[in-house]
Structure 1
Amino acid sequence: MTAFGNPSRIERLRARMDAAGIDVIVSFKPENSFYLTGFNPIIYSHPVIAILPRTGAPSILVHALRDDHARASSFVSDIRLYGAWSTKVTMGLHWQAALASLLAEAGLASSVIGIEEEFVPLSRYRELEGLLPKATFKDVSGLIMTTRLVKDADEIANARAAARIADVGMDAAIAEVRAGGSERDISLASMAAMNRFWADTFPDKEVCDFGSLEGGAQNGLATWALAGDRMFMNCDNPTPRKPVAGECVSIFIWTIIDGIHAENERTVMVGEQPAENLRAIRSILEIRAELEPLMKPGTPISALFAATKAGLEARGYGKYLPGRIGHGIGLGAHEHPSLDAKTDIPLEPGMIFTLEPNLRMPGIAATQFSDTILITPDGCEFLTQSVGGELIA
C-alpha cells in the first residue's frame, strides 16, 4: 500500500500514550499494524508486529519472506526480520525471541507495554508475559481506536476514492436489476465495473483488504444483492434467484482503497410495490433527510439515534427500532463507534461513518440505504453519491 511519510496520527497516538503512561505499543492486529507502519502483507500467516515507542523511532518486525514487500510499502524505516528465507539475515527463527531482543535493545523490556487485549489471544498474552517477565502490560485497544476516529488527509483521500468506486458499482448493479438479472448477475456486474474503474482510474492504489493467519483478501471490492424475503438475511452469498415484480432488492457494496473502506447500500423496487413497502421506503428516506442537518461537529452520536427513534415512532414504526443506525468506517468496514442510543461521542471534523437507519418488518417490508459520510468543519459531505430515493427497476 502507498506510503505517505510519517502521518500525523502517529503523534496523536503518542500524545495519548503519554497521558496513559504507555512506554511502547506492540501491535499484532492487522488493521492497527498497518495504521502504525503502512504495511499490509495481505496474508498474515506470520505475525506482522508494529512497535511504536512513546519516544524514538518506530520499528516493524516481519517474517523474512515479507522483507521486500515491507520495504516497498512501509513508512517505517527500521524493518527487522525473523524466520528463515533465502539469504535474508534475521534476528532468529521465531518472532518471540526477535521481539524480546528488539525491546531489550531499545531499553523497553521492563517498561509499560501496550497490547491489544481485544485482539491478542490468551495464549499469546501468556507468551508475552513469559518473554518479558519484568514488563507491565496494559490494554491499548480503546486508545488506538479513539485515535483512529479522526482521519488524516491521506485516509480521507482514500475514502473518497473508495466511495467513487462504490458509486460506479452501484450504477452497474442497478442497471443489472433493470435488465432482469439474478442476485448473482447483479453482484458480478457490479464487481466487474468496480474492478475496471479501479484499474483505469487508480493505477497506483491497492484494493486488498486485511487477512488473517489462515488466509488473505487480495481484492476487497465486494457486492452482494439479496432479493425479496432474502433481504432479511442482511448478508449472504448471492444466488441465481431473480427478483420478481412487487419485490425489492437490497444491494450492498463494500470497497477499499489503500486500507480505507467505503460503504454504499440501496434498495431497488422491482415493478409496482405493495403499499407497505412503498411507505417504509419513503419513511426511511424522509428520516435520512431529517438527520442531515444534525450531522455536524458537536452533535452527540446519540442525538442522531434519538432523532431517528422519534421519526420512526411518529410514523408508527416504534416497535421496529434498529439497534443502531450506522457505524464508524475506515480501516475496518465496521469499526467504532456504533451510532446508537448509548454513544455520546460528539462528531468532529475528520470522522467518517455510515448513515443507515433502516426498517426490518418480518413478512412485511425491509429497507437498506447506507452512505459513507465525512464530517467537515461546517457540516458533512456525502462521499458516496449514488442516486437515492425510490429506485424502480
Structure 2
Amino acid sequence: MNRISRLKSLMAARGIDALVTFKPEHSFYLSGFNPIIFSHPVIAILPAEGEPVILVHALRDDHGRSESWVKDIRLYGAWSTKVTMGPNWQDALRAILAEKGLDASVLGVEEDYLPVTRHRLLTELLPKAKLVDSSAVFDRARLVKDADEIANVRVAAALADIGMDAAQDALAQGGSEREIATSSMAAMNGHWALHLPDHEVADFGSLEGGAQNGLWTWALAGDRMFRNCDNPTQRKPQRGEAVAVFIWAIANGVHAENERTFAYGPLPDANRRAIDTILKIREDIAPAMRPGAPLAELFHITKRGLEDAGYAANIPGRIGHTIGLGAHEHTSLDGKTDVILEPGMLFTLEPNLRVPDRGVATQISDTILITETGHEFLTQSRGGYIEV
C-alpha cells in the first residue's frame, strides 16, 4: 500500500527501525481494523523491513481478523478458548520485538499521544531500545491520501451534504438548534442504513469509551456562534439571525466536513457584508488550490482580503486544517505551515470572521481534494449566501 511505503521512506530518513503505535487512528491506518472501543490497547508494529504486526486483546480476535488486511495478528489476555501470548500486552510486545530482532533498536512512538506513564513503562520494558518521537512521521504520511481513502471521503462528503440539506429544511421550518442537529443526523443515518451496506460510520474511541457512530451535526444560532463549538440547545433562531451548521461525517475511517452559515430571514447589513466578504475571499483562494502551491498562500490571500475589507483586527488564526482519519488533523492552514500542495492532499477550506462587538460571525467550510490539475470540492451542498 502507498501509505506503508510513505511511512517506510520517512522512517528511513529518520533512522527509525520500527514504529510502535498505540493511537487508534494509526493502528487502523496500518491494519484497517477499528475495534471502536479500546478497553485494551491495539498495538501496531511496522518494521522498516517486513510486514506489519497487530497485537490485540483476545476478545477482539474475531473482529480483527474479519476486518484487518494484516496477516500477522497476535493475541494477549484471556478470553474463552483463545490461545494467546500471555496475560498482558507488555510481555507480548516485548516478545514480538525480540523475535524480530528489534528489542534493542530505534523505535518510533507517538509522544504527542502516549501518556507519560505508558512512555515510562515502555522505557522500562525495552531498556536496550531507543525511543524516539514518530508523531511527525505519521502526520506527514497522512497528508497524502491513498485511493481507498479518497473513495471513502467521497462517501463521507456525500453524507455530509445530505445532512446539510436536512439541516436547512429544519431551520426553514423554525426548528431549534437541537431539532436542526437531530434532523440532520437522522437524514445521514437514514441514507447510511439504506444505501451503504459496505460502509462503517464508526469513529475512533479511547481507553474509556467508543464512538459507534461518527455522523455528527451541531447548530449554533445568533450570538452562540461565538462559542464555535457547543452542544445544541432548545434555543430557536430568531428572524434576522445567522445560524451556523457544522457537520462531520465519516465513512470507513475517513472524515469529511461541511459547514454553512444560513441567514434566517434578511440579515443586518453588517452580517451580510461579512458573509459576502468571506465568499469573495473564497473565490480569490480558488486559483491557489493546485499542486505545487504553498499551503500558506491560502492564508495570506485571506489575510489580505480581510485587511482590504476593513477587518484587519479580526484575522483568524487559521482558515482550515487537514482532514482524513481525524476530523481535525494536525496541519493547519495558517501563515506558518511549510507544506506544498500535491495531488491526494485533503483539507478543509474555512476562512471565517468573528467580530464580537458587532455581533458578526461566519462559518463556511468545505472539504477539498487536491487533484493532478487543480482541486475538487468534495462537499457540494448549496453554497453562497443562503437565506431561508
Q: CA deviation at 1:363?
A: 3.7
- Provide the C-alpha distance between the structure 2 equivalents of 1:146 and 1:230, rounded to a whole number of angstroms: 35
Equivalent residue of 2:97, what SS? Answer: helix
Where does structure 2 lack aligned partners over 5 or more consecutive residues?
Answer: none
- Provide the C-alpha distance between the structure 2 equivalents of 1:15 and 1:107, rounded to a whole number of angstroms: 20
Aligned to 2:91: 97
- Provide the C-alpha distance between the structure 1 equivalents of 2:347 and 2:111, rounded to a whole number of angstroms: 24
Aligned to 2:367: 372
CA contact (8 A) 1:252 1:265 kept: yes
- Provide the C-alpha distance between the structure 2 equivalents of 1:127 and 1:62, rounded to a whole number of angstroms: 18
Residue identity opposite 1:368 in structure 2: Q
- Provide the C-alpha distance between the structure 2 equivalents of 1:155 and 1:253, rounded to a whole number of angstroms: 19
Aligned to 2:385: 390
Q: Does 1:66 align with 2:48?
A: no
CA contact (8 A) 1:150 1:349 kept: yes
Q: CA deviation at 1:267?
A: 0.4
Q: CA deviation at 1:20?
A: 1.4
- Provide the C-alpha distance between the structure 2 equivalents of 1:299 and 1:201, rounded to a whole number of angstroms: 38
Q: CA deviation at 1:48?
A: 0.3
Aligned to 2:266: 272
Instruction: Provide Cα deviations, 1:155-201, integer angstroms capped at 9, x if missing partner.
Output: 00011000000000000000111011000010011000000111222
- Alignment partner of 2:338 out of 305, 326, 344: 344
Describe how 1:1-393 pairs up with structure 2 within 5 A: 7-364=1-358, 365-393=360-388
Residue identity opposite 2:3 in structure 1: R
Equivalent residue of 1:273, what SS? Answer: coil
- Provide the C-alpha distance between the structure 2 equivalents of 1:179 and 1:109, rounded to a whole number of angstroms: 63
- Provide the C-alpha distance between the structure 2 equivalents of 1:135 and 1:84, rounded to a whole number of angstroms: 28
- Provide the C-alpha distance between the structure 2 equivalents of 1:263 and 1:298, rounded to a whole number of angstroms: 24
RMSD: 0.7
- Provide the C-alpha distance between the structure 1 equivalents of 2:267 and 2:106, rounded to a whole number of angstroms: 61
Q: CA deviation at 1:145?
A: 0.9
Instruction: Provide Cα deviations, 1:212-240, integer angstroms capped at 9, x if missing partner.
Output: 01100000000000001101111111111
Residue identity opposite 2:73 in structure 1: I
Equivalent residue of 1:378, what SS? Answer: coil
Residue identity opposite 2:67 in structure 1: S
Aligned to 1:3: none
Q: Percent identity?
A: 65
TM superposition score normalised by structure 1: 0.97
CA contact (8 A) 1:149 1:336 kept: no
Equivalent residue of 1:103, what SS? Answer: helix
- Provide the C-alpha distance between the structure 1 equivalents of 2:158 and 2:51, rounded to a whole number of angstroms: 36
Equivalent residue of 1:337, what SS? Answer: coil
Q: CA deviation at 1:21?
A: 1.2
Aligned to 1:4: none
Q: CA deviation at 1:85?
A: 0.4
Equivalent residue of 1:223, what SS? Answer: strand
- Provide the C-alpha distance between the structure 1 equivalents of 2:178 and 2:147, rounded to a whole number of angstroms: 36
Q: CA deviation at 1:138?
A: 1.1
- Provide the C-alpha distance between the structure 1 equivalents of 2:7 and 2:361, rounded to a whole number of angstroms: 41
Instruction: Provide Cα deviations, 1:328-359, integer angstroms capped at 9, x if missing partner.
Output: 00000001210001012111100000000000
- Provide the C-alpha distance between the structure 1 equivalents of 2:342 and 2:195, rounded to a whole number of angstroms: 30
Residue identity opposite 2:279 in structure 1: L
- Provide the C-alpha distance between the structure 2 equivalents of 1:141 and 1:94, rounded to a whole number of angstroms: 25
Q: CA deviation at 1:8?
A: 1.5
- Provide the C-alpha distance between the structure 2 equivalents of 1:133 and 1:305, rounded to a whole number of angstroms: 45
- Provide the C-alpha distance between the structure 2 equivalents of 1:56 and 1:224, rounded to a whole number of angstroms: 44
Q: CA deviation at 1:390?
A: 1.1
- Provide the C-alpha distance between the structure 1 equivalents of 2:386 and 2:266, rounded to a whole number of angstroms: 11
CA contact (8 A) 1:229 1:363 kept: no
Aligned residue-pair number: 387
- Provide the C-alpha distance between the structure 1 equivalents of 2:268 and 2:52, rounded to a whole number of angstroms: 59
CA contact (8 A) 1:17 1:23 kept: yes
Residue identity opposite 1:23 in structure 2: D
